[in-house]
A and B are shown apart, each in its own frame.
Chain A
Amino acid sequence: MSASRNRMSRPALALVLIGAGIMLAPLLWTLLLSLKSNSALMRSSSTAFHGPWTLENYAAILGNSQVLHWLLNSIIVSLGTTGGVLILCSLAGYGFARLDFPFKRALFLLVLLGLAIPEQAVILPRHRLFAELGLHNSYPGLILPGLVAPFGVFFMTQYFRSIPVELDEAAMLDGASRWTIFWKVLLPLTIPAQSALAVFTFLGSWNDYWWPLISATRSDRFTLTVGLASSQMNYAQTSGLGYLMAQAVFASVPILIVYLVFQKQIVRAMSGAAVR
Chain B
Amino acid sequence: MKRLLALALTLLVLSCAPADKRTHINLQRFFGECGALYGHSIDVAHAEGECGIMTTLINRFNAENPDVHVDVNVVAWPGYAQLSAQIAARDPPDLVTMHQGVLTDYAARGLVEPVEPMLRQAGLKPDDFTDAGRRGVTKNGAMYGVPWDTIGGLFHINTALFAKAGLLRAGKPVLPTSPRELLAQARQFKERTGTPYFIQSEVNDPATQVRNLYTYLLAQDAVIFPDAHHIRLTTHQAKEIVTLFKTINDQHLSTLNQDTPAAINSFLNGQGGIYPTGTWMIGSFQAESETPGRPLYRSYAVFPYPRLWGHPAAFVDGHSWVMPKRKRSPATRAAIARFLAFMAAHNFDWSRTGHVSAMKAVVASAAFKQLPHRADIAPLAEIGRPLPGTIRRQGAIEGILGEELAAAISGQKPVAQALADAERRTNTLLAQLD
Contacts and interface: CB of A to CB of B under 8 A. Distances in A.
B91 A233 contact: no
B73 A218 contact: yes
A153 to B, nearest CB: 29
B206 to A, nearest CB: 15
Interface residues of B, number: 38
Contacts of B35: 63-66
Contact of B89 (A65, A131, A236, A238): A131
Nearest to A134: B89
Contact of A214 (B51, B82, B260): B82
Contact of B76 (A62, A66, A230): A230
Interface string B297-310: 00000000000000
B85 A238 contact: no
B74 A234 contact: no
Interface in A7-27: none
A238 B261 contact: yes
Interface residues of A, number: 38
B116 interface: no
B262 to A, nearest CB: 9
A240 B280 CA distance: 13
Nearest to B73: A219
Contact of A127 (B39, B88, B265, B269): B88
B30 interface: yes
Contacts of B284: 42, 239
Contact of B91 (A61, A136, A240): A136
B268 A127 contact: no
Contacts of B91: 131, 136, 217
Given A43-B269, A60-B37, A217-B85, A234 B75 contact: no
Contacts of A239: 264, 284
Interface of B: 30-37, 39, 49-51, 73-78, 81-82, 84-86, 88-91, 260-261, 264-265, 268-269, 280, 284, 287-288, 294
6 contacts: A43-B288, A44-B265, A63-B36, A64-B36, A213-B85, A214-B85
7 closest A-B pairs by CB: A63-B36, A231-B33, A214-B85, A229-B76, A131-B89, A233-B32, A230-B76
